[in-house]
């Protein structure tokens, strides 16, 4: 199955000559099974670029191919039914249950009821929502994170080879977001889709991407692996975009046992397993409002205490961005 | 109050009631058949929204008695002219609520529907209408009660219905006949409203909203 290639894609909104193009001649090749993140500040054209792949927006000029066929060669509804689509605001149908939402594309494709039912259960299990509990719920009865899990299940229902994800975790709180990112990585390892994922969150891009396409004002600035972007940014824009997150990135590389104190006289009520990164521990503490957590080994035995203060001191001690 | 007319003319009262229900049902059926396509159209084609609702709003303000009397001159006496007037009155509310209900659907939901490969009709039938339905039904409730009331005037058109009891009672000095007709009208309106509220509760969109 196919990768995606974009050839000199341009999109100009409006017809007057004065309007600046939203996307200015982007060429990009995405391999089959690759997880590519489109990264850039808001207004850089990354969402426009994404939406041109499933033709929710038609390019002004240039071509987009899936495999060796141009997207315009497919009937538009056919094309979209075979591309998973996940958006930030989720967009679940509020009048349908979780099961009905997930079954949307199978129903459009005319699947047999039995097959749809089995697939729906399988997908809910994949996104860690026990089917027995969630099949008959309405979207309003779910938390934001749960809704997006359903959104992902719905997008994957007909087993599309390509998934387009437009800031899917952008409106979700930090802790849940981190869970969902890990979950998405796990799912991706299992199913190996070709994923195009839009975000403005550098951490998220570094965590998820095989390759990152950095965009600015409608242009592709650099397209490379996370490591290559960090070590060889092509210009100051890329350097600053990635460097501004230096502190947090440093914390995500730090394992918490390095920061904990052995004396357990003032144990925290929150527990974190050894092996957790300082970044995650920070999110957890800030999220729960606790000022300390107990670090525990895999058997649940306390190893020591980690304070919020210690993490923040470590963060401040982090060296400034290189270069 | 004096309900003696009811005990002496049970079958006449029942016939008038059934006729009234028939006129109301016909009016609402024809009314919806026109209003839903028209409302959908003006929800899509924005330039039509204000002029169409302006015209229907003007019709809505014409006094019913005058309108029906006026129509008799053109359409002739009978059910046709009564229905013409009654259907005209329902249009403002039904068309407006259809258009408003459709326009209130969250664009994000429409984007998701299109992005998953629904064509225009599928999106309308599976997403937009079900979500607009509580608003449309709200309009139908108002239109139903209004139609039941205005349909009494249809009696001047010789169309029958409970209005006949009111007019005949007045002409014959039969107070009891008027009172029986009036009470039947009130009961009919209340029952119709309750029924439509029950239907509203069964709609998927309403049930989803009630579940929290």
pLDDT tens-digit readout, A11-22: 998 765 556 778
Q: Is B211's pLDDT higher than 70?
A: no
Confidence tier at A257 by pLDDT (50, 70, 90): confident
Three-state DSSP at A173 gives: coil
State residue A19's pLDDT score.
66
DSSP result, A47-108: HHHHHHHTTSS--SEEEEEETTEEGGGS-HHHHHHTEEEEETT----TTS-HHHHHTHHHHH
The hierarchical CATH code for the domain B4-210 is 1.10.3720.10
First to last CA, chain B: 47
Q: Is B77's pLDDT higher than 80?
A: no
Describe the crossing of helices B79-103 and B10-44 by its angle, rounded to 10 degrees: 40
What mean pLDDT do residues B43-55 have? 93
Phi, psi at A255, each rounded to 5°: -90, 145
Percent pLDDT > 70 in chain A is 90
Q: Is A323's pLDDT higher than 60?
A: no
Confidence tier at A264 by pLDDT (50, 70, 90): low
Nearest-CB residue to A91 (from B108, B211, B212): B108
CB A308 within 8 A of CB A279: no
Percent pLDDT > 70 in chain B is 99
State residue A318's pLDDT score.
52
DSSP result, A232-272: --SSHHHHHHHHTTHHHHHHHHSBGGGT-BS--TT--SEEE
Q: Do A91 and B112 touch (CB under 8 A)?
A: yes
What mean pLDDT do residues A301-314 have? 79
Q: What residues contact B84, with CB distance under 8 A and at least 6 apart?
A: B71, B75
Nearest CA in chain A to B122: A108
Q: Is A176's pLDDT higher than 90?
A: no
Instruction: Identify the architecture of domain A4-246 in CATH.
Output: 3-Layer(aba) Sandwich (3.40)
How many CA within 13 A on the CB side of residue A118? Answer: 4
Question: CB of A53 within 8 Å of any CB in chain B?
Answer: no
First to last CA, chain A: 42
Window 129-168 of B: residues touching A by CB (8 A cutoff) are 130-131
Helices (H), A135-260: 144-156, 174-191, 202-208, 226-231, 236-243, 246-253
Instruction: Tell me if the pTM is above 0.90.
Output: no
> Would you kindly state where each structural domain of chain A is located, as residue ranges?
4-246, 249-317
Confidence check on the interface: ipTM exceeds 0.90, yes or no: no
Question: CB of A10 within 8 Å of any CB in chain B?
Answer: no
Residues of A in contact with B112 (CB under 8 A): 85, 87, 90-93
State residue B212's pLDDT score.
43
CB B20 within 8 A of CB B151: yes
Q: Does residue A264 or residue A32 have the better pLDDT?
A: A32
Three-state DSSP at A13 gives: coil
- Euclidean distance between CA atoms B132 and B125, whole angstroms: 10
Percent pLDDT > 90 in chain A is 53
User: Considering just the CA atoms, what is the radius of gyration of chain B in Å?
Assistant: 20
CB A86 within 8 A of CB A163: yes
Describe the crossing of helices A246-253 and A278-288 by its angle, rounded to 10 degrees: 110
State residue A322's pLDDT score.
45
Q: How far is CA A216 from CA A27, A60, A224, in A?
A: 14, 19, 15
State residue A15's pLDDT score.
64
What mean pLDDT do residues A146-161 have? 94
Q: What residues contact A315, with CB distance under 8 A and at least 6 apart?
A: A247, A248, A250, A251, A282
- Euclidean distance between CA atoms B205 and B131, whole angstroms: 6
Question: CB of A75 within 8 Å of any CB in chain B?
Answer: no
Q: How many CB pairs under 8 A join A and B?
A: 76
State residue B113's pLDDT score.
96
What mean pLDDT do residues A282-296 have? 76
Dig out the tokens for B51 from the structure.
Answer: 């002029």
Q: Do A93 and B127 touch (CB under 8 A)?
A: yes
Q: Is A244's pLDDT higher than 80?
A: no
State residue A295's pLDDT score.
87
- Euclidean distance between CA atoms B104 and A1, whole angstroms: 40
Q: Do A85 and B211 touch (CB under 8 A)?
A: no
Nearest CA in chain A to B210: A140
Confidence tier at A301 by pLDDT (50, 70, 90): confident
Nearest-CB residue to B208 (from A80, A95, A164): A95
Confidence tier at A289 by pLDDT (50, 70, 90): low
- Euclidean distance between CA atoms A217 and A215, whole angstroms: 7
Q: Which of A304-308, B35-39, B110-114, B188-192 has the lowest mean pLDDT?
A: A304-308
pLDDT tens-digit readout, A93-138: 999 999 999 999 999 999 999 999 999 999 999 999 999 999 999 9
Three-state DSSP at A39 gives: strand
One-letter-per-residue 3-state SS of B18-66: HHHHHHHHHHHHHHHHHHHHHHHHHHHCHHHHHHHHHHHHHHHHCCHHH
The conformational region for residue A57 under phi > 0 = left, psi -120 to 50 = alpha, else beta, is beta
pLDDT tens-digit readout, A38-63: 999 888 999 999 999 999 999 999 99
Q: How far is CA A184 from CA A112, A148, A226, B19, B69, in A?
A: 28, 11, 18, 63, 70
State residue B157's pLDDT score.
74
State residue A154's pLDDT score.
96
Q: Which of B95-99, B113-117, B126-130, B173-177 has the lowest mean pLDDT?
A: B173-177
What mean pLDDT do residues A131-156 have? 94
Q: Do B112 and A93 touch (CB under 8 A)?
A: yes
State residue A166's pLDDT score.
95
Q: Is A321's pLDDT higher than 50?
A: no
What mean pLDDT do residues B85-109 have? 95
Fold of A249-317: CBS domain Like (3.90.1280)
Q: Which of A102-116, A254-268, B25-39, B58-72 has the lowest mean pLDDT?
A: A254-268
Cβ-in-10-Å burial (0-12, 13-18, 19+) of B74 comes to: exposed
| Polymer length of chain A | 323
pLDDT tens-digit readout, B146-204: 999 989 887 877 778 888 888 888 888 888 888 999 999 999 999 999 999 999 988 88
B117 closest CA partner among A171, A147, A164: A164
Question: CB of B93 within 8 Å of any CB in chain A?
Answer: no
């Amino acid at each position: 199955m196919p990768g995606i290639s974009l050839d000199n894609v341009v999109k100009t909104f409006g017809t007057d000559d004065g309007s600046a193009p939203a996307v200015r001649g982007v060429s990009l090749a995405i391999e089959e099974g690759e997880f590519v993140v489109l990264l850039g500040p808001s207004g850089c054209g990354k969402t426009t670029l994404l939406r041109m792949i499933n033709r929710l927006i038609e390019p002004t000029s240039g071509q987009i191919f899936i495999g060796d066929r141009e997207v315009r060669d497919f009937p538009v509804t056919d094309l979209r039914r075979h591309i998973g689509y996940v958006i930030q605001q989720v967009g679940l149908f509020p009048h349908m249950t979780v099961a009905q939402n997930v079954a949307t594309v199978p129903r459009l494709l005319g699947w047999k009821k039995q097959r749809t039912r089995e697939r729906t259960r399988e997908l809910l299990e994949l996104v860690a929502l026990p089917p027995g509990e969630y099949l008959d719920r309405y979207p309003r009865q779910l938390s934001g994170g749960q809704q997006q899990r359903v959104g992902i299940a719905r997008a994957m229902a007909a087993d599309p080879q390509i998934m387009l994800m437009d800031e899917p975790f952008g409106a979700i709180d930090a802790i849940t977001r981190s869970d969902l990112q890990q979950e998405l990585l796990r799912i991706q390892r299992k199913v190996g889709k070709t994923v195009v994922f839009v975000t403005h969150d550098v951490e998220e891009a570094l965590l998820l991407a095989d390759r990152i396409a950095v965009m600015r004002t409608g242009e592709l600035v650099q397209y490379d692996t996370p490591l290559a972007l960090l070590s060889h940014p092509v210009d100051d824009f890329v350097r600053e975009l990635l460097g501004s997150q230096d502190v947090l990135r440093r914390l995500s590389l730090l394992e918490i046992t390095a920061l904990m104190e052995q004396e357990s006289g003032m144990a925290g009520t929150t527990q974190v397993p050894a092996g957790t990164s300082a970044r995650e521990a920070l999110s957890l503490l800030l999220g729960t409002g606790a000022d300390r957590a107990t670090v525990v080994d895999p058997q649940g035995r306390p190893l020591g205490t980690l304070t919020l203060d210690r993490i923040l001191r470590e963060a401040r001690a982090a060296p400034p961005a290189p270069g | 109050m004096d309900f003696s007319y009811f005990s002496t003319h049970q079958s006449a009262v029942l016939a008038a009631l059934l006729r009234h229900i028939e006129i109301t049902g016909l009016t609402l059926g024809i009314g919806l058949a026109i209003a839903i396509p028209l409302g959908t159209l003006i929800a899509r084609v924005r330039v039509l929204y204000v002029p169409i609702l302006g015209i229907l709003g003007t019709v809505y303000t014409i006094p019913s008695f005058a309108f029906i009397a006026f129509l008799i001159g053109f359409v002739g006496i009978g059910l046709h002219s009564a229905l013409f007037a009654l259907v005209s009155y329902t249009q403002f509310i039904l068309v407006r609520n259809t258009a408003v209900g459709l326009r209130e659907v969250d664009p994000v939901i429409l984007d998701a529907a299109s992005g998953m490969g629904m064509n225009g009709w599928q999106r309308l039938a599976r997403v937009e209408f079900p979500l607009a339905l509580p608003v449309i039904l709200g309009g139908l409730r108002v239109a139903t009660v209004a139609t039941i009331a205005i349909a009494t005037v249809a009696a001047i058109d010789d169309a029958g219905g409970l209005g006949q009891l009111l007019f005949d009672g007045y002409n014959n000095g039969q107070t009891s006949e008027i009172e029986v007709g009036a009470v039947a009208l009130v009961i009919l309106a209340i029952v119709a409203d309750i029924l439509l509220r029950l239907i509203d509760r069964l709609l998927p969109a309403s049930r989803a909203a009630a579940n929290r």
